Copies of this chain bind each other. A is one copy, B any other.
Amino acid sequence: MARGKLRRLVYDQLEPTARKGRLSPTNRVIVVLVIIAAFTVIFETEPTISAGREPLFRLFELLFGIIFLVEFAARVWIAPDSPRFAGKPRPRLSYIMSWNAIIDMIAILPSLFAFADGSSIILRFFRILRMVRLAKLGRLSRAWRHVTQAIHSRRYELGLTVAIAVAAMLTAGTGLYLTEAEAQPDKFGSIPRALWWAIVTLTTVGYGDAYPITAAGKVVAGVVAVIGVGLIALPTGILASAFSEAVQKRSASDAADKED
């Protein structure tokens, strides 16, 4: 019975939906640890910071690996208490097969290799997998629900405006390919190359690595830029207003939650 009580206590500490209001102290500690762990990964990649401090970074990594392994084990242990897995024949196995658990495992895996040397691409990719831990933050927050709600409620407009944006990019790229391919074959010599220009231009980033130099190309690019920039901004505007709406509905749904 004591074990059931303990598990119930751990469940209350770890499960973000267990409490209606704020996060439990344990989950807050996990949030802080995830952020520190992410910064450790970020700074470890910068040679001017990590050079000579490799043992320190490995120690940190080992520490985070152990903590998140313990957290993962605890979450597996409490799975039978979760309403989502309690009804299933093997609740713990069901949990392990869930997206949340798979992401956790992917993020823990690289810690085992913390002491491996070298800087090969595969090893780099492997180490960077630890950044996946940041996905924990989304899971601990109810906010993520508002984002997915916002996208879902306006999926038709978003899909349509994204299609318009893609069409604008294809048209822009094709137009510049036709007018500039002769003058700058390395930058506009094919539609995929011209598409890089189109993306960089229509998002208004404009690195300056590719731009038209012929008069015809500049006229086409000028017209395309003025129209295209407006079309590319459509999905952003729709997403922003959808998001605002989804959050405003939150108060109402929160109020309903509290009445439960």
B230 touches A236 (CB 8 A): yes
Report B-chain residues with C-beta under 8 Å of the C-beta of A161: 243
Distance A196 CA – B213 CA, assembled complex (angstroms) = 11
A182 touches B121 (CB 8 A): yes
Give the copy number: 4
Report B-chain residues with C-beta under 8 Å of the C-beta of A211: 200, 207, 209
Report B-chain residues with C-beta under 8 Å of the C-beta of A201: 205
- Is A191 in the interface zone, CB < 8 Å from B? yes
Q: State which of A22-30, A86-94, A162-170 sits at the interface with chain B.
A: A162-170
Distance A181 CA – B208 CA, assembled complex (angstroms) = 21
B131 touches A45 (CB 8 A): no
A131 touches B174 (CB 8 A): yes
- Is A113 in the interface zone, CB < 8 Å from B? no
Report B-chain residues with C-beta under 8 Å of the C-beta of A234: 236, 239-240, 243
Interface of chain A residues 135 through 190 with chain B (CB within 8 A): 137-138, 141, 143, 146-147, 156-157, 160-161, 163-165, 167, 170, 174, 177-178, 181-182, 189-190
A190 touches B147 (CB 8 A): no
Interface of chain A residues 185 through 226 with chain B (CB within 8 A): 189-193, 195-196, 199-201, 203-209, 211, 218, 222, 225-226
Distance A138 CA – B147 CA, assembled complex (angstroms) = 29
Q: Which residue of B lies closest to A237 (CB)?
A: B240
A143 touches B163 (CB 8 A): yes
Residue numbers of A with Cβ under 8 A of B are 38, 41-43, 45-47, 49, 121, 124-125, 128, 131, 134, 137-138, 141, 143, 146-147, 156-157, 160-161, 163-165, 167, 170, 174, 177-178, 181-182, 189-193, 195-196, 199-201, 203-209, 211, 218, 222, 225-226, 229-230, 232-241, 243-244, 247, 250
